[in-house]
């Protein structure tokens, strides 16, 4: 989906026999270290990417109402904190609208109807987040 691709700058992080490649991703709304699922030789540069998350949304556990209405991405130790507007779908999924970029999550627990359209923060394991170069 075209509107899900985000233009970012990535820089390869120092590797200690690490597979897959980890990169620091710089976005207009923050930066963090995540996994790179493209060609390791292209890990440094500017890319249109899609985000994937192995962690699902679990309301009240890793997802809650945000304290401010501003999109953001930040690293907190081994956790990645994502803030945006939550948009529920009809097929047990949800989009987190982070500025101009929607990212898709699976939903593992019921979400209150009042959370649809609300500003939320999602905390995921940084190692469960990957960037894929967007293929047109």
Q: Does the pLDDT at position 122 exceed 60?
A: yes
| The token pair that represents 114 in the structure block | 């009042």
Helices of type H across the chain? none
pLDDT tens, 3-60? 567 889 999 988 766 567 899 999 999 999 999 999 989 999 999 999 999 999 999 9
The pLDDT assigned to 136 comes to 61
Domain that holds residue 39: 2-133
Q: Does the pLDDT at position 92 exceed 90?
A: no
Residue among 107, 105, 110 at smallest CA distance from 129:
105
The whole-model pTM stands at 0.89
Distance between CA 121 and CA 136 in Å, rounded? 30
The total number of structural domains in the chain stands at 1
The pLDDT assigned to 16 comes to 64
The pLDDT assigned to 107 comes to 95
Are 86 and 117 in contact, with CB atoms under 8 Å apart? yes
């Amino acid at each position: 989906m075209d509107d899900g691709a985000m233009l970012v700058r990535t820089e390869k992080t120092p590797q200690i026999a690490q597979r897959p490649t980890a990169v620091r991703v710089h976005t207009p709304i923050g930066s963090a270290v995540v996994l790179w699922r493209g060609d390791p030789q292209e890990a440094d540069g500017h890319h249109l990417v899609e985000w994937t998350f192995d962690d699902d949304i679990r309301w009240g556990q890793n997802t809650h109402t945000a304290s401010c209405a501003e999109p953001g991405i930040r690293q907190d130790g081994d956790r990645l904190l994502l803030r945006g507007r939550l948009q529920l779908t009809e097929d047990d999924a949800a989009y987190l609208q982070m500025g101009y970029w929607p990212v898709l999550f699976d939903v593992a627990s019921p979400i209150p109807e009042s959370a649809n359209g609300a500003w939320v923060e999602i905390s995921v394991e940084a190692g469960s987040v990957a960037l894929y170069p967007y293929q047109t």
